[in-house]
């Protein structure tokens, strides 16, 4: 029996208040994930929580072992993942406290391993893996609907759709970069949404991003530009509400054996040479 069916990759606020969590360490062929995995239950669903930056927030976005994180969740039985993250708003109307559930992604990271298919056989496999997956729609449609409904149920009118641009960090954008991102029509900017989303797809996981706007990014900022303190402050103000939304979203996700979305068939037509964990 699987240890968990749903994964949540987020901060410590998402597991530390559960009555009953089991902390387990998981090793993967790609090394250790960001931290222990915390197993708990929400509305009868088995959930695995993984603090993306480690529980003491010791890992900056560009040092996170994204491959180990997703592989660890999958190996525990997880098939659907919710990935909340803090972002900057690229439009004046997306001010602090906005919850946006993106439907598109732009990768502006520079130095991250972002595939399991690097030509070598997958761990335990024998077939060299040269695989080009479809990624036109990076997020799970069913997960997005569950997240949007959960937000509305908590009186939080979410923004349905938009483009998350992911930058390398750890620095924030210059004003010119921020203006350029906004001019492209992109909605929010963050540092962790990629390669999380594409690695999830490569493992046939459903992945849904929930972005919480903590600041107006540099180009839309009339003051000194975004600061880390500002981000933390707004996140702290909204974390309780976001947690409620996540819990409701978990409860609303389809049964993992019942996935009607395309995510489960991501590998159709490709021979991986191995059953994924």
Binding-residue total with Zn ion (CB under 5 A): 4
Would you say 57 is a known binding-site residue? Answer: no
**Which is closer to Zn ion, CB of 210 or CB of 234?**
210
DSSP type of residue 255: P
Nearer residue to Zn ion within complex by CB, 23 or 265: 265
Question: Smallest Cα–Cα separation from 160: which of 150, 170, 169?
Answer: 150
What residues form DSSP beta bridges with 103?
none
Choose between 68 and 206: whose C-beta lies nearer to Zn ion. 206
Question: What DSSP designation does 123 have?
Answer: T
* Under rule CB under 5 A, residue 206 binds Zn ion: yes
Binding mask 213-252 for Zn ion (x = CB under 5 A): ----------------------------------------
Tell me the two tokens of residue 198.
């594409």
215 is in an annotated binding site: yes
Catalytic residue among 35, 107, 215, 248: 215
105 touching Zn ion, by CB under 5 A? no
Q: Which residues pair with 10 in a beta bridge?
A: 51
Instruction: Identify which range of 1-9, 23-31, 137-145, 196-204 contacts Zn ion by CB under 5 A.
Output: 137-145
Residue 217 labeled ligand binder: yes
72, 234, 263, 266: which one binds Zn ion (CB under 5 A): 263
d(CA 6, CA 206): 9
Indicate the length of the chain as a whole number. 277
Instruction: Rule CB under 5 A: choose which of 251, 261, 274, 276 binds Zn ion.
Output: 261
Largest Cα span, the chain:
56
Pick from 168, 141, 146, 180: which is nearest to 62 by CA? 168
Sign of the alpha-carbon torsion through 232, 238, 243, 246: negative
The yes-or-no answer on residue 258 being catalytic is: no
Active site residues: 215, 217
Using CB under 5 A, list all residues that contact Zn ion: 140, 206, 261, 263
């Amino acid at each position: 029996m699987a240890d968990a069916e749903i994964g949540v990759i987020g901060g410590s606020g998402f597991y530390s208040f559960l009555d009953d969590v089991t902390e387990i360490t998981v090793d993967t062929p790609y090394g250790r994930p960001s931290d222990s995995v915390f197993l708990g239950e929400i509305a009868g669903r088995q959930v695995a929580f993984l603090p993306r930056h480690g529980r003491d927030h010791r890992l900056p976005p560009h040092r996170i072992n994204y491959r180990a994180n997703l592989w660890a969740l999958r190996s525990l039985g997880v098939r659907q993942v919710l990935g909340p993250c803090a972002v900057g708003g690229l439009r004046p109307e997306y001010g602090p406290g906005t919850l946006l559930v993106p439907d598109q992604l732009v990768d502006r990271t520079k130095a991250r391993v972002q595939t399991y298919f690097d030509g070598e056989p997958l761990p335990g496999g024998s077939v060299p893996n040269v695989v080009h997956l479809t990624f036109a729609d990076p997020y799970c449609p069913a997960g997005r609907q569950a997240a949007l409904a959960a937000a509305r149920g908590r009186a939080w009118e979410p923004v349905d759709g938009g483009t998350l641009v992911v930058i390398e960090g750890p620095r924030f954008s210059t004003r010119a970069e921020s203006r350029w991102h906004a001019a492209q029509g992109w909605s929010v900017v963050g540092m962790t949404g990629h390669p999380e989303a594409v690695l999830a797809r490569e493992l046939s996981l459903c992945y849904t991003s929930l972005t919480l706007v903590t600041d107006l990014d540099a180009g839309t900022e009339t003051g000194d530009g975004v600061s880390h303190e500002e981000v933390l402050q707004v996140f702290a103000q909204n974390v309780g509400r976001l947690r409620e939304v996540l819990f409701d979203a978990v409860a609303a996700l389809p049964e993992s054996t019942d996935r009607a979305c395309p995510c489960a068939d991501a590998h159709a037509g490709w021979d991986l040479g191995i059953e994924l964990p």
